[in-house]
Amino acid sequence: METVEMNSVSLKRPHSEDDVANADEIKRQKISEKSQTGNNSGQSVETVKEQPDKSLLEDTKNEIIPNEEGEEQEDEELEDSDEDGDPESFADMMKHGLTESDVGITKFVSSHKGFSGILKERYSDFVVHEIGKDGRVSHLDDFSVPVDDEDPSEETFTVLSDEDKQRLEELQLLKNKETSVAIEVIEDSKEKRTVIHQAVKSLFPGLETKTEDRDGKKYIIAYHAAGKKALANPRKHSWPKSRGSYCHFVLYKENKDTMDAINVLSKFLRVKPNIFSYMGTKDKRAITVQEIAVLRITAQRLAHLNKCLMNFKLGNFSYKNHPLKLGELQGNHFTVVLRNITGTDDQIEQAMNSLREIGFINYYGMQRFGTTAVPTYQIGRAILQNNWNEVMDLILKPRPGAEKGYLVKCREEWAKTKDPAAALKKLPVKRCVEGQLLRGLLKYGMKNIISAFGIIPRNNRLMYIHSYQSYVWNNMVSKRIEEYGLKAVPGDLTLKGATAVHIEEEDVHNYTIHDVVMPLPGFDVIYPKHKIGEAYKEMLVADNLDINNMRHKIRDYSLSGAYRKIIIRPQNVNWEVVAYDDPKIPLFTTDLDKLEGKPLPVLPTDGKFRALKMEFSLPPSTYATMAIREVLKMDTSIKNQTQLNTTWLR
């Protein structure tokens, strides 16, 4: 089947109501082609051809973070788009970004006609609930704190002044040369002194206290118990032996990613982020609910943060003897609203029934590959090729696309001087990948790029290689579906337990497309026996890589490979179409709304707009965007979305 590239309409931001109307009229002009290829199963497979008339995302700068769990979940998005700047310049810059076809996303499995809708017009239109390893869906539905006689009194949190807390924090974090902090006891009594002792020890792990008389006045003296180590390992002797060492709680957050939330909690609690654990990171531009565990922090102390936290709440507290581990979850349950949909009731019914019965191609989503003209998979390929000069060049060279202003200036300085120190001075934020690489070059010199690159955190370095694996997998799956359609064929791979085996001719009738897996390239996988096995080799040869030698001389960059199902069928699929007049009103209640007793707005029976409310559950390492793409039949790339509709930047 021939792949036809999507065309798109580039629109400027409307500046008035008339402009908005004109823009809507333009967007209603579809540019589409359509073809279908039948297969023996009677199901059709479409190439990306149909161009809907509106953008998938109202806010295209905020991509849907992948529902990635397990080891790969630790990958972080390495490219940030510029949050400032005028919309025309952003839309213009995004012309240099990737489209789906650039990363091998070219096929659909359903036969319905595509329609348009707006995803994440409000971040509250996208809600994610984590599904634990026991199959239980996480909900925030209880703010109560477990009763514990060992907990400090409420006065503990208010007895210290802001000035005292500032001085104690600086002492705790070793930010000055002071070896102790003295707090005068104004209303001297044993009870008052006890509360101050408790407050210091509870709020500032690692500090000890004692009472001293100075000039006839009583002072509580705070000092370090065990130096820096005490900060990462909260005081063991202050924790009751009868209580589990970990406080588990449900984190409800809005428009903030998981690591940002944990960093905020760490700051408020004055502890290191590494005492928190979780099963997977969640979307930023969304409302998400997930379980978190923290080492030796009381539920009472955590609950107290609800009074001062913005955009997230903590609840459902319990004490347990174990932390959480990445990848332990069963998946995530999504509640999604697609606003201003144009599909007929029949189209929607066909689309959702297809999603439930057939599923969607398990592509790696666009956020896996970055947002600028230098895709992350290109850097991964250069690492695998052992081409370190190209790795350095790809990360640091100027690039078209949406980036923060300081990164643009840093790249320009690098191109002009090749001086790591000069380029580093242009970066106010040194923790970005560019800053880390420049610091490495400053430390190890331009002739030791491997060591300089090694300064970047391991998970971020591996993200580039995983991106290349994903790029290969997407392309190979598109070829597989184009060549053999939606049925299992001899030579395909399926899993027996954790082991991949080939499907033989005599057994092929025992398998469906939902049993078929494809490998991510590596030294510990086998490949299909049909044409697609050869296609893997050809693709890697074209990239100057040897499929039979995926071990890298640097162990970290050796690819063992893995297997991934090519079709995912979501579970618990439900949907309804609702009418509404006001784009700003929520169309369902969240966990927090229910706790606060907020009623759902009364919706009109015949509103100006229609929305599709859909729910479904996905296993780990799958992308909700790819499920929604299958329903709408449209390109989910920022480039395409921006060219179609930039009115979100008004």
Look at the domain 133-146+239-329 and name its fold: Alpha-Beta Plaits (3.30.70)
Q: Under a CB-based contact definition with an 8 Å cutoff, are residues 315 and 143 in contact?
A: yes
Virtual torsion, Cα 11, 14, 17, 23, nearest 10 deg: 0
pLDDT of residue 155: 65
Tens digit of each residue's pLDDT (9 = 90 or more) over 127-172: 999 999 999 999 999 999 887 666 666 666 677 888 888 888 778 7
| pLDDT at residue 170, as a whole number | 79
Model pLDDT, residue 34: 34
Establish how many alpha carbons lie within 13 A of residue 584's alpha carbon, considering only the half-sphere containing its beta carbon.
0
Q: What is 461-565's CATH number?
A: 3.30.2350.20
Lowest-confidence segment of 55-64, 119-128, 367-376, 547-556 by average pLDDT: 55-64
Q: In which band, very low, low, confident or very high, does the pLDDT at 92 lie, cut at 50, 70 and 90?
A: low
516-520 and 312-320 beta bridge pairing: unpaired
pLDDT at 53: 35
* Residue 419 a catalytic site member: no
3-state secondary structure of 650: coil
Tens-place pLDDT, residues 548-585: 999 999 999 998 999 999 999 999 999 999 999 988 88
Query: In the predicted model, is pLDDT for residue 275 greater than 80?
Result: yes
Average pLDDT, the chain: 81
Question: Given pLDDT bands bounded at 50, 70 and 90, which one contains residue 84?
Answer: very low
pLDDT at 154: 64
How many Å is the maximal CA-CA distance in the chain? 94
DSSP letter for each residue of 260-286: HHHHHHHHHHTS-GGGEEESB---SSS
Query: What's the token pair of residue 438?
Result: 């420049």
What is the share, in percent, of the chain residues with pLDDT greater than 70? 79
- pLDDT score of 397: 92
pLDDT at position 29 is 35
Range in 413-422, 429-438, 526-535, 638-647 the model is least confident about: 638-647
**CATH 3.30.70.3160 placement within the chain:** 133-146+239-329
Query: Is the confidence at residue 297, as pLDDT, over 70?
Result: yes
Q: Where in the chain is the domain with CATH 3.30.2350.20?
A: 461-565
Residue 329 in 3-state DSSP?
coil
Residue 225 in 3-state DSSP? Answer: coil
pLDDT for the residue numbered 320: 94
Q: 75, 151, 164, 283: which is the annotated catalytic residue?
A: 283
Instruction: Indicate where the chain has its CATH 1.10.1510 domain(s).
Output: 371-458
- Integer angstrom CA distances of residue 399 from 36, 97, 412, 424, 621: 38, 10, 9, 17, 30
**Cβ atoms < 10 Å from Cβ of 166:** 12
Handedness of CA 303, 304, 307, 310 (dihedral sign): negative
The residue among 251 and 168 whose pLDDT is bigger is 251
**Residues 335, 127 contacting (CB under 8 angstroms):** yes
pLDDT in tens, 613-639: 999 999 998 999 999 999 999 887 776
Nearest-angstrom CA–CA distance, 521 and 516: 16
> Yes or no: is domain 371-458 CATH 1.10.1660?
no
The CA distance from 17 to 324, in Å, is: 51
The CA distance from 239 to 230, in Å, is 14
pLDDT digits (tens, 9 = 90+) for 199-232: 887 777 668 888 888 887 888 888 876 555 544 4
Structure tokens, 72: 């790969």
CA distances (Å), origin 367, targets 371, 435, 611: 7, 22, 25
| Residues 6+ positions from 159 with CB-CB distance below 8 Å | 192, 195, 196, 199
Please name the residue ranges forming H helices in 490-623. 531-542, 591-595
Q: What is the pLDDT of residues 255-274, one digit of tens each?
A: 998 988 999 999 888 888 99
Q: How many CB atoms lie within 10 A of CB 516?
A: 24
* C-alpha of 430 from chain center: 22
CATH number, span 154-232: 3.30.1370
CB 385 within 8 A of CB 545: yes
Q: Between residues 13 and 427, which one has the greater pLDDT?
A: 427
613-625 as b/e, with b when 16 or more CB fall inside 10 Å?
bbbbbbbbbbbbb
Ordered alpha helix ranges (H), 504-619: 531-542, 591-595
